[in-house]
């Protein structure tokens, strides 16, 4: 088993990564001092539940915990205020009190939703993440929790750190291949922003990662989580540095919004976004091989790197102007300096972004 410590003062917590951890969940709750006198709420979704809920329930019940379970529909649609209220109803009817916890068993959707419930139920109770997707190696670190507003993603949320994260690699075996690749997009992103060797490792071990080899997954998730934890512990509330985690996300979020949520997985959208960031870097004169190197890594992980024709530049630009990352109408981008290093660049001209979108549509072929 691998353990990564997220260093956040009194809000520090460990991330346990290994195979076969879910059947030991009860022992982990006890180890972390959770009270068996209070009920605990498991939030999961209807695609995760059939595979993994019983294992978790048995382990917790054997350890003496009383459980309330809320199974939401799989998909981004569950990150809504309506589903949030339904989960709150389960929590109240189940008698959760201040010593209770909310346990997220699932991917980023369940983690963000359950985390926002934990952050706000009685003004905040304990939260435990049990991620079941590769993408959730990203979403389970940093304490960002949220639901969506019909007008904008992740608009309603909080910072709420978990007590601990229990990452059982075995749960990943049931993940559909497209979800595997999408999750690996965030993994390689962590290499691209802070660790060139890790980015190249992801490319070199792409086949193992895609085949869900336990050793490769364990190492990749440990490094991915450690890089994110390092950034977050230097900037818990997103004052500055933390923004580098948004590499590829400005364009990526616009793609998700314009295509309509569902057509692209988040990881796929940011993969195209990272290809775009590499083009932007080159346009700003930061080395000629960035786009080629970046897209080679992404393609090795079966990820898309070309902007599809049906997403218009006007729509994408409009979506970006709405993006909350634009402070006071200036455009901010995370721009690679090299593989493994990025800068936060303010005041990128809108026209340049438009040009990049054009190039990105042609897979970067037109750039000089």
Residue list, annotated binding site = 74-79, 108-112, 132-133, 144, 153, 171-174, 186, 249, 266
Binding site membership for NAD(+): which residues? 74-79, 108-112, 132-133, 144, 153, 171-174
Rounded distance, CA 71 to CA 61, Å?
A: 18
| Residues in touch with ligand NAD (CB under 6 A) | 45, 47-48, 51, 74-76, 79, 106-110, 112, 132-133, 135-136, 138-139, 142, 144, 154, 171-172, 174-175, 179, 182, 266
Element (H, E) at 14: strand 13-18
Rounded distance, CA 129 to CA 345, Å?
A: 33
DSSP annotation string for 18-51: ETT-GGGHHHHHHHTT--TTS-EEEEEETTTHHH
Whether 238 is catalytic is yes
Q: Which of 40, 228, 291, 293 is catalytic?
A: 228
Min dist. Cβ of residue 15 to a second copy (A):
21
Rounded distance, CA 81 to CA 103, Å?
A: 19
Whether 186 is catalytic is yes
Q: Which of 163, 179, 186, 222 is catalytic?
A: 186
The DSSP bridge partners found for residue 331 are none
Q: Which of 40, 137, 223, 253 is catalytic?
A: 253
- How many CB atoms sit inside 10 A of residue 193's CB? 23
Nearer to a second copy, 309 or 329 (CB): 329
Whether 194 is catalytic is no
Nearest to 118 by CA among 137, 102, 106: 102
Whether 310 is catalytic is no
Min dist. Cβ of residue 366 to ligand NAD (A):
31
Whether 144 is catalytic is yes
Whether 86 is catalytic is no
Min dist. Cβ of residue 307 to ligand NAD (A):
20
Name which of a second copy, ligand NAD, none residue 108 binds, using a CB cut-off of 5 to 8 Å depending on partner kind.
ligand NAD
Tokens 């520090």 belong to residue: 12
Residues with Cβ within 8 Å of residue 32, at least 6 apart in sequence: 128, 163, 164
Nearer to a second copy, 4 or 331 (CB): 331
């Amino acid at each position: 088993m691998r353990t990564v410590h997220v260093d956040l003062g009194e809000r520090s917590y460990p991330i346990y990564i290994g195979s076969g951890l879910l059947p030991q969940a009860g022992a982990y709750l006890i180890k972390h001092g959770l009270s068996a006198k209070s009920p605990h709420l498991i939030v999961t979704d209807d695609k995760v539940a059939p595979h993994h809920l019983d294992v978790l329930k048995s382990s917790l019940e054997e350890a003496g915990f009383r459980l309330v379970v809320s199974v939401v529909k799989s998909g981004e649609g569950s990150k809504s205020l309506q589903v949030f209220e339904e989960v709150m109803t389960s929590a109240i009817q189940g008698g959760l009190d201040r010593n209770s916890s909310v346990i997220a068993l699932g991917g980023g959707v369940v983690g963000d939703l359950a985390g926002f419930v934990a952050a706000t139920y009685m003004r905040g109770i304990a939260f435990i993440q049990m991620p079941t997707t590769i993408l959730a190696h990203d979403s389970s670190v940093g304490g960002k929790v949220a639901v969506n507003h019909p007008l904008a993603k992740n608009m309603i949320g909080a910072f709420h750190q978990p007590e601990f994260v229990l990452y059982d690699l075995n749960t990943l075996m049931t993940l559909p291949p497209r979800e595997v690749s999408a999750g690996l997009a965030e993994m390689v992103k962590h290499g691209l922003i802070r660790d060139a060797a890790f980015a190249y490792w992801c490319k070199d071990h792409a086949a193992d990662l895609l085949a869900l080899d336990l050793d490769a997954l364990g190492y990749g998730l440990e490094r991915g989580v450690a890089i994110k934890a390092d950034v977050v512990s230097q900037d818990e509330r997103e004052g500055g540095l933390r923004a580098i985690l948004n590499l590829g996300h400005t364009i990526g979020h616009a793609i998700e919004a314009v295509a309509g949520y569902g057509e692209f997985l988040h990881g796929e959208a940011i993969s195209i976004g990272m290809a775009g960031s590499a083009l932007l870097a080159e346009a700003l004169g930061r080395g000629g091989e960035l786009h080629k190197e970046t897209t080679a890594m992404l393609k090795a992980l079966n990820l898309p790197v070309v902007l599809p024709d049906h997403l218009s530049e006007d729509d994408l630009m409009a979506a970006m102007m709405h993006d909350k990352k634009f402070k006071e109408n200036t455009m901010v981008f995370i721009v690679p300096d090299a593989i493994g290093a990025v800068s936060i660049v303010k005041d990128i001209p809108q026209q340049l972004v438009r040009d990049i979108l054009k190039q990105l549509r042609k897979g970067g072929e037109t750039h000089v």
